[in-house]
C-alpha cells in the first residue's frame, strides 16, 4: 500500500531498515553492501532499496533532515510496511571531550529540545531510549571488530544554526555526548508503535575544538558504521 511519501507496496520492505539521513547515502549502502538491491521507492527523491546481506533481506532508506522528516518516514515504515526495527546510521557533532572524530556513538538515549513528544499528551517528560537488544548487540559486535564506540545520551536538536550562543552549555554539563537531529523522533515513534530502534552515529566534527573529518576520513569512518549496523540487522 503506497503512502503520500512512499510508493512501496506491502512486502517491498524488509523487517529491518537502515536509515541514513541522506538518500544518496542510502543508495551508496545499497550498491556497495547489498546483493541484488532493487529500488522500492523514490518519492521526492527519498530513495529506498531492498536487497540481501549475508543471506538476510535488508532495506535501506533515507530519512531526511530533522525530527519531522524522520517522524514521517519511520512512522510509515513501522505502521504500513510491517517493519520491525529501524537502525539509524548518521553523523553527529561531539560536545564531549571524551568523544572524538571517527568515534562511533551508540545512542542509548536521545534528549531533545523539540516539542515532538507533545502529540502524545503525556503528563510529564518522556525519555526516548534505544531498544536494549539492538544496543547490546551493537556494543558487542563493535568490541569484536575493534571499533572505538561510546554509549550514552545524545541531543536531537531542532536547530542546526542556533541563535543562542550558550545553547549547548547545559547539555554539556549533563554529559550529553553529541548533537544530531533525528534520533529522538525515531525512538518515540518506535516506543509508541511497539517497535525497535537504535541510532548508530559517527562523530564527524568536534564542536568544542573545531576539529572535523576530511572527506576521505569521513568515507572510511562511515563505512565502519554501516558495517556495524549491517552486522546486527
Q: Give me the sign of the Cα torsion angle 70, 178, 129, 105.
A: positive
pLDDT at residue 52 greater than cutoff 80:
yes
For the residues 223-230, what does the mean pLDDT come to? 95
98-102, 107-111, 213-217: which range is least confident on average? Answer: 213-217
Q: What is the pLDDT of residue 210?
A: 94
- DSSP-based helix, strand, coil % in the chain, nearest 5: 35, 30, 35
| Inter-residue contact 96 to 177 (CB < 8 Å) | yes
Task: Report residue 215's pLDDT band, with 50, 70 and 90 as the boundaries.
Answer: low
For the residues 200-215, what does the mean pLDDT come to? 91
For the residues 82-102, what does the mean pLDDT come to? 96
Q: What is the pLDDT of residue 214?
A: 77
Is 12 annotated in the active site? no
Q: Given the C-alpha cell 554509549, which residue does it identify?
A: 151
Q: What is the pLDDT of residue 218?
A: 67
Q: What is the pLDDT of residue 220?
A: 65
Q: What is the pLDDT of residue 72?
A: 98
The catalytically annotated residue of 84, 205, 216, 224 is 205
pTM of the entire structure?
A: 0.96
Task: Report residue 54's pLDDT band, with 50, 70 and 90 as the boundaries.
Answer: very high
Per-residue pLDDT reduced to its tens digit, 103-148: 999 999 999 999 999 999 999 999 999 999 999 999 999 999 999 8
Question: Can you give the residue ranges of every domain in the chain?
Answer: 16-232
| Inter-residue contact 41 to 6 (CB < 8 Å) | yes
For the residues 202-212, what does the mean pLDDT come to? 95
* Average pLDDT, rounded, for the chain: 96
Q: At what angle do helices 183-192 and 67-80 cross, to 10 degrees?
A: 30
The topology under which CATH files domain 16-232 is Rossmann fold (3.40.50)
Buried b (16+ CB within 10 A) or exposed e, 75-101: bbbbeebebebbbbbbbbbbbbeebeb
Q: What is the pLDDT of residue 13?
A: 98
Q: What is the pLDDT of residue 2?
A: 86
Per-residue pLDDT reduced to its tens digit, 142-171: 999 999 899 999 999 999 999 999 999 999
Amino acid at each position: 500500500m503506497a503512502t503520500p511519501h512512499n510508493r512501496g507496496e506491502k512486502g517491498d520492505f524488509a523487517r529491518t531498515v537502515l536509515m541514513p539521513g541522506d538518500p544518496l547515502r542510502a543508495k551508496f549502502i545499497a550498491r556497495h553492501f547489498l546483493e541484488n538491491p532493487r529500488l522500492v521507492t523514490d518519492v521526492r527523491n527519498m530513495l529506498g532499496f531492498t536487497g540481501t546481506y549475508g543471506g538476510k533481506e535488508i532495506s535501506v532508506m533515507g530519512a531526511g533532515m530533522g525530527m519531522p522528516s524522520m517522524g514521517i518516514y519511520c512512522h510509515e515504515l513501522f505502521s504500513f510496511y510491517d517493519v520491525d526495527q529501524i537502525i539509524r546510521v548518521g553523523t553527529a557533532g561531539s560536545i564531549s571531550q571524551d568523544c572524538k572524530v571517527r568515534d562511533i556513538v551508540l545512542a542509548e538515549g536521545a534528549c531533545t529540545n523539540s516539542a515532538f513528544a507533545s502529540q502524545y499528551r503525556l503528563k510529564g517528560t518522556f525519555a526516548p531510549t534505544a531498544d536494549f537488544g539492538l544496543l547490546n548487540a551493537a556494543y558487542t559486535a563493535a568490541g569484536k571488530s575493534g571499533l572505538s564506540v561510546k554509549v550514552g545520551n545524545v541531543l536531537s536538536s531542532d536547530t542546526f544554526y542556533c541563535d543562542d550562543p550558550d545553547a549547548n552549555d547545559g547539555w554539556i554539563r549533563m554529559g550529553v555526548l553529541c548533537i544530531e537531529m533525528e534520533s529522538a523522533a525515531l525512538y518515540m515513534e518506535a516506543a509508541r508503535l511497539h517497535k525497535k530502534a537504535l541510532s548508530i552515529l559517527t562523530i564527524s566534527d568536534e564542536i568544542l575544538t573545531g576539529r572535523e573529518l576530511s572527506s576521505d576520513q569521513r568515507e572510511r569512518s562511515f563505512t565502519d558504521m554501516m558495517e556495524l549496523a549491517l552486522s546486527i540487522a
